[in-house]
């Protein structure tokens, strides 16, 4: 899994994932935009966003997971143009 933890960006950063295949954990993060990518975790969660703010997932693909994305105690989360 790729983990982003404890980062605060006042001006949101953009991570262009393109064709990357990954499972993702975003915890205690402010200000990140994820573009593209395929989020997988056979039998688990493709992406976990916990205790975070101002996180955006654009044009992602969620597959091969029981739960595509789990959002826990977070605010201002946007998932747009994505496939589940």
Per-residue model confidence as pLDDT tens for the chain (84 residues): 899 999 999 999 999 999 999 999 999 999 999 999 999 986 789 999 999 999 999 999 999 999 999 999 999 999 999 999
Written as one string, the DSSP assignment of 37-49 is EEE--TTSEEEEE
What is the rounded distance in angstroms from the CA atom of residue 64 to the CA atom of residue 42?
5
- pLDDT for residue 82: 97
Q: What is the pTM of this model?
A: 0.93
What is the rounded distance in angstroms from the CA atom of residue 13 to the CA atom of residue 30?
10
Beta-bridged to residue 8, according to DSSP, are 30
């Amino acid at each position: 899994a790729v983990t982003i933890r404890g980062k605060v960006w006042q001006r949101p950063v953009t991570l262009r994932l393109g064709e990357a295949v990954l499972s993702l954990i975003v915890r205690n993060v402010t200000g990140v935009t994820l573009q593209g990518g395929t989020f997988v975790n056979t039998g688990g969660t493709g992406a976990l966003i916990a205790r975070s703010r101002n996180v955006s997932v654009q044009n992602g693909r969620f597959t091969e997971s029981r739960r595509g994305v789990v959002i826990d105690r977070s605010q201002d989360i946007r998932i747009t143009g994505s496939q589940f």
